[in-house]
Structure 1
Amino acid sequence: MAQRTRRTVRDLRRDSRAAVLQRLYFEGSMSRQELGPATGLSSGSVSNVVAELVAEGLVEEAGSVESDGGRPRTLLRVNPRSGHLIGIDVGETRVRIEAFDFTLSELARTERPLAENLYEVGVIVEHIRSGIEEVLAETGLPADGLLGVGIGVPGVVERDPARGSVVHGQTIGWDAVPLEALLRESGGLPDSVPYFIDNGAKTLGQAEMWFGAGRGARSAVAILFGSGVGACLFAEGAPQGQALEWGHLTVHVGGRRCRCGSPGCLEAYAGAEAVLQRWQEAGGTPPEGVDEETRLTALLTAAAPQDGSEPDPAARTVIRETAEYLGAGLAGLINLLQPERILVGGWAGLQFGAGFLEEVRAHAVAYSLTHPAAKVTMDLGKLGPDAVTVGAATLPLADFLGRGGRGTTPVQEATPPAWRAALEDRVLN
């Protein structure tokens, strides 16, 4: 017998609150009269929900506008002071921690550099704990008032019922690391503050889909190009995003050894770390004693100098090869997924794409089937190198908005149906 999903009054109230909050959050100020058609709720439901949200401080009045032949209509907006979030990017070269208000305006930030890709788990946990402590102290925010902490990490993230979010980061030497449990044990935050941990390409993509170059797209692939490369698909079947280990697509059988241990991965040719290694192997001279971002800048400058001097042949060759590898990798995504847009982000992606995106695009078209290639656009992300951190903060924000602005509630054990208890009692007797 098919089971029915029973919706309670509480479910309906939550959904109504979520509809109003989300509309005001993403569309900006609206009147009560506009919220009805926009959300599909009756005028009475809108009035009741708005009254609740205003009383709780989640929504506030924002002036008024003239109406046709009637009284001015009061505008409503989300209250930026109604909640605070923290977003964290566990990147290849640093851990970045930022505090945000409810509208994702930055309040404070701090960074913890990573020495030569040192991903020792205890070090990362301490960086996160102390970074949260620092931004809270700077802003004066109470820890127990946070709506949540979002964290973007390299690798595959799975949810374990007992240990919370577990990270499988093969390229950084993490094998089933129970990051959420370790953060809880560190004592950094009270148990009432939830952690949301996900793949960094997914957090970057969600930020671009919500606020940046992906807005309005029905389907898009977000590319995170840093020391390594990753991707995330956003489409009708994956509206919350599906992280893709795109960097470990084989592009050269028997090729260079990747950080993951396999030969011929895209990341072994197109990740910033590998690109710099290839430049040095070709006779280039990357500057010493500086971080990876500065070395990549030097490579790009050598390949396309802005002062009128001749390009360095080794640098130019490496850049041309990298553009072709990236284009071929993107062609695989275009043929398989047929996205409407491709968004290139990450610190290396923004640097590389500023001068060479057209070359990458040309190679992607050349390696793709004609029809899907003609339908896709390719652009740089609009949110800059901090997009992963902003996207990480959207993880707790999305959860909060989806629950209609309600706090987390403890999970209750399901009560078995009465017939089961009765029959078990007969069997026992």
Structure 2
Amino acid sequence: MGTRNGRTVRDLRRENRATVLRRLFFDGPMSRNALGPATGLSSGSVSNVVTELLADGLLEEAGSVESDGGRPRILLRVAPHGGHMIGVDVGETRVRVELFDLSLAELARAERPLATGRNGRRGRYDDELIAGHISDGLAEVMDAAEVTPDALLGVGIGVPGIVERTAEGAVVHGQTIGWDAVPLERMLRASGRLPEDVPYFIDNGARTLGQAEMWFGAGRGARNAVVVLFGSGVGACVVADEAEGGRAVEWGHLTVRVRGRRCRCGALGCLEAYAGAEALLERWQEAGGRPPREVDEETALTAMLAAAYPDGGGEPDPVATSVLAETAEYLGAGLSDLINLFQPERILIGGWAGLQLGSRFLESVRAHALSHALRYPAERVGIELGRLGPDAVTVGAATLPLADFFARGGRRSRPAAPAALPDRSPAWRATVGGRLA
């Protein structure tokens, strides 16, 4: 049965279920009486939806509150055991896999460090090795938590690079890691670790970080923000009204210096060639610093910070201090471009390197960003650190299947593809087409 605007009764029921699930997930526990005003649904619709969701095992009672003169009102919340998601962070120092329940409580995790070459440098990622780490990690966390594949809502994966959607699944273009159209989803499905009906959601790691911070962290409540991922390289996710779920942008490959340093992508003068952790450590060494050898980037960056900001009143290393100060200026200039282009309410800095540099670095970056940006948007933006720590990409990856599950009203079965419509060319093709050269 259709409705006036083309939506069916089934569509409306799905939307109502999705509305109640989202409200209880973000703001619950709530009573049925409170759900009506909070969702805009009638009391009858709330009652019908809640009855369905309770029967499906997606809601549970969470105590009660006193009412004015009547019986206590039962509080409802999303049932943690109603489903499970896996989040994967394909980082530049390790692959991290985490299993979550519907409350996003972590049930199990697995980590696989990625080997580095001399001085912590890394060449091309071995795509078969990465796919194997992910597949093994999926099996490990499910075994550890005794969760079967039929309980999974999906697997979310954050990767470095641009993700293309194809008929065969997600393909990753990661120029800085040597991935040229790697069919990651097809490779994972070929492993046979999960049944075909378990969906994969593969996206840029900056976007998964952005979604996590917007849902639960420092971006909560903002209508538009930019979330910066500062790790071995740098990236960003822009969240705005027209891109509510976030859109990853290759911010790290913005040119900040014509004929500048060679970036990992092959171009000259990219921001990442100056501000990524890998480049930061290289510049320290080139300037005469002594980063520790044969260690990973996180350990080397810790050593650099200890040299620049020694505990116990020692003399700071002037080389490390100078390189960090210059890096803050480059990052600030890069942030000013984001301010001018997108005019966000907030800019949030996350990623393992951003969190390591933390508050010691932030004030300098903020000052440079505001000095380079146009006055009007600069006066209206807040620049702060993300709040979700080093697991933010993994948590954000897990929200990808969760968001899809909510959008389907908590239904596990995916709708069948609509029948193909007959080809009807628009009228302009006949009237304007002849003018085209």
TM-score, L = length of structure 1: 0.95
Conserved in 2, the CA contact under 8 Å of 1:233 and 1:243? yes
Equivalent in the alignment of 2:55: 55
SS at match of 1:375: coil
Partner of 1:302: 307
- Whether the aligned pair in 2 keeps the contact of 1:60 and 1:79 (CA below 8 Å) is yes
* C-alpha separation in 2, matches of 1:145 and 1:64: 29
Matched, 1:273 2:278: yes
Separation in 1, partners of 2:299, 2:38: 48
Q: Map 1:239-388; keep pairs closer than 5 Å.
A: 239-388=244-393
Secondary structure of 1:342 counterpart: strand
Which whole-Å CA distance do the structure 2 matches of 1:179 and 1:128 have between them? 10
**Residue deviations 1:274-317 (CA, integer Å, cap 9, x gap):** 00000000111111122110100111111111220111011011
Question: Is 2:26 the partner of 1:26?
Answer: yes
1:338-387 deviation per Cα after TM superposition (whole angstroms, max 9, x unaligned): 10000000000011123110000010011111111110001100000110
Structure 1 residues 376 and 413: alpha-carbon distance in aligned structure 2, compared to 1, 3 A threshold: closer
Q: Residue type matched to 1:156 in 2?
A: I
For 2:257, what is the secondary structure of its paired residue? coil
Name the counterpart of 1:150: 156
Equivalent of 2:196 in 191, 195, 217: 191
Q: What CA distance in whole angstroms lies between the structure 2 residues aligned with 1:411 and 1:167?
A: 26
Contact 1:144–1:189 (8 Å) recurs in 2: no
| Structure 2 match to 1:137 | 143
Counterpart for residue 432 of structure 2:
none
Partner Cα separation in structure 1 for residue 109 and residue 170 of structure 2? 24
Q: Can you give the 5+ residue segments of structure 2 that lack an aligned partner in the other structure?
A: 117-121, 425-437
Measured in 2, the distance between the counterparts of 1:408 and 1:6 equals 22
Task: Report the CA distance shift for 1:415/1:205 in structure 2 as closer, same or farther (over 3 A).
Answer: closer
Give the counterpart letter for 2:326 in structure 1. Answer: E
CA distance in 1, matches of 2:142, 2:70: 47
**Corresponding residue of 2:78:** 78
- Superposed CA deviations along residues 221-274 of structure 1, whole A, max 9, x for unmatched, are 000000000000011111010101000000000000000000000000000000
How far apart, in 2, do the equivalents of 1:373 and 1:89 lie?
32
How far residue 333 of structure 1 moved from its aligned partner, in angstroms, is: 0.4
Q: Match for residue 40 of structure 1?
A: 40
Residue 5 of structure 1 and its aligned partner are, at CA, apart by 5.8
Secondary structure of the residue aligned to 1:96 is strand
The reply to whether residue 159 of structure 1 matches residue 165 of structure 2 is yes
Q: Which residue of structure 2 aligns with residue 15 of structure 1?
A: 15
Q: Which SS does the other structure have where 1:348 is aligned?
A: helix
Q: CA deviation at 1:411?
A: 2.9
User: Cα deviation per residue 1:14-54 (whole Å; 9 max; x = unaligned)?
Assistant: 00000000000000100101111111111111111000000
The DSSP-based 3-state class of the residue aligned with 1:414 is coil
How many residues get paired? 414
After superposition, the Cα gap between the structure-2 partners of 1:80 and 1:327, relative to the gap in structure 1 and judged at 3 Å, is same
Report the CA distance between 1:416 and its aligned residue.
4.7
Aligned residue number for residue 175 of structure 1: 180
Take 2:183 and 2:402, find their aligned partners in 1: how far apart are those partners?
23
Partner SS, residue 311 of structure 2: coil
Structure 1 residue 144 displacement after superposition: 2.3
CA distance, structure 1, for counterparts of residue 365 and residue 358 of structure 2:
8
Match of 2:411 in 1: 406
- CA RMSD between the two structures: 1.3
Which residue in 2 is equivalent to 1:95? 95
Which whole-Å CA distance do the structure 2 matches of 1:299 and 1:416 have between them?
61
Aligned with 1:7: secondary structure?
A: coil
Residue 126 (structure 1) aligns with: 132
Structure 1: runs of 5+ lacking an equivalent: 420-429
Q: Which residue of 1 aligns with 2:109?
A: 109
CA–CA distance in 1 between the matches of 2:23 and 2:151?
24
Tell me if 1:217 matches 2:222.
yes
In structure 2, C-alpha distance between the alignment counterparts of 1:407 and 1:302, rounded to whole Å? 53
Indicate conservation of the 8 Å contact 1:87/1:391, yes or no: yes
Q: Could you say what secondary structure the match of 1:97 adopts?
A: strand
Question: SS of 2:347's equivalent?
Answer: strand
**In the TM superposition, what whole-angstrom CA distance separates every residue of 1:32-80 from its partner, at most 9, and x where no partner exists?**
0111111111111111100000011100111111111222111101101
Other structure's SS at 2:340 match: helix
**Cα distance in structure 1, aligned partners of 2:277 and 2:204:** 19
Shift of 1:181: 1.1
Per the alignment, residue 435 of structure 2 pairs with: none
Residue type at the aligned position of 2:369:
A
Distance 1:218 1:369 in 2: 21
CA shift digits 1:382-406 (9 cap, x unpaired): 0001100000000000000111100
Residue 30 of structure 1 contacts residue 77 of structure 1 at CA under 8 Å; is this kept in 2? yes
Relative to structure 1, is the Cα distance of residues 53 and 329 closer, same or farther in structure 2, using a 3 angstrom cutoff? Answer: same
Secondary structure of the corresponding residue to residue 307 of structure 1:
helix
Do the aligned residues in 2 keep the contact of 1:20 with 1:35 (CA within 8 Å)?
yes
Contact kept? 1:279, 1:315, Cα under 8 Å: yes
Spell out structure 1 runs of 4+ moving beyond 4 A.
Answer: none
Percent same amino acid among aligned pairs? 70
**CA offsets per residue over residues 82-130 of structure 1, 9 Å max, x none?**
1111000000010000001111100111111111235111001100000
User: Deviation of residue 415 (structure 1)?
Assistant: 5.7
How far apart are the structure 1 equivalents of 2:361 and 2:64?
48
Q: CA deviation at 1:180?
A: 0.8
Secondary structure of 2:82 counterpart: coil
- TM-score after normalising by structure 2: 0.93
**One-letter code of the match for 1:403?**
R
Name the SS of the counterpart of 1:218 in structure 2. Answer: coil
Question: Deviation of residue 413 (structure 1)?
Answer: 4.5
Contact 1:222/1:342 (<8 A) preserved = yes
- Residue type of the alignment partner of 2:107: L
| Counterpart for residue 434 of structure 2 | none
